[in-house]
Amino acid sequence: MCMYGHGVVRGMFETIDGENLRGFAVWLPMMSGDDAEAAQKVVDAFPDPRVSHAWDPNRVLGDLAAQCLGLAKTGWDLYLVYPAGVVWEGDALPTPELWMAQLPSEQGIGEQTLLDPGRLAAEVYRMTGREENRDAVDLKLSLHARGLMEVRNTGEAFQAFLTEVGFDQDLGASC
């Protein structure tokens, strides 16, 4: 999960109370700087007991997700939504009711699966039996801002990521 997506998910957990929302964050080494220590820093900053975190150094879950979702390569920066009661049995990952991603297009994703904070939150609210009191646009903007705030807080790590993916502008002054 990238820092933007982490901020969106964290924002959802901060606005939805109750035990019928559970999360599993699995961290994979996909970019330079992705290691167990970096993942642990993020885990420590998100101490919600409803979220279980794991480090997957061999990308096992990412490969299973790719098989399940029909992706061209290891899946990462994925957001899989399951209804209550889904049990993982056997070797294959259960098919999610909804999934979104922040992957490059060569992975085989399209606009319909690109992470949309408002749509993701609306689905999570629906599946947990909750009604959101805020306007859908306000919720989407709030979660988007939460994601951007998480990115901003990464500072130098974010600038290194931009360089690694080929974005050559220094955004330090604008963040």
Residue 68, phi-psi category: left (phi > 0), alpha (psi -120 to 50), beta (remainder)? alpha
Distance CA 9, CA 173 (A): 26
Q: Provide DSSP, 43-79.
A: HHT---TTEEEEE-TT-HHHHHHHHHHT-SS---SEE
Asked if the model's pLDDT at residue 82 lies above 80, the reply is yes
Q: Provide DSSP, 83-102.
A: -TT----SSSPPPPSEEEE-
Distance CA 57, CA 29 (A): 6
pTM for this entry: 0.76
* 79 bridge partner residues: 100
Could you tell me what percent of the chain has a pLDDT over 70?
A: 73
Closest to 5 measured CA to CA, from 31, 35, 33, 42: 42
| pLDDT: which is higher, 133 or 48 | 48
Report how far Cα 128 is from the mean position of its chain's Cα atoms.
18
Distance CA 143, CA 139 (A): 6
Lowest mean pLDDT among 16-30, 87-101, 102-116, 144-158: 144-158
Asked if the model's pLDDT at residue 38 lies above 70, the reply is yes
Q: Which residues contact 12 (CB under 8 A, 6 or more apart)?
A: 21, 120, 121, 124, 143
Average predicted confidence (pLDDT) for the chain: 79
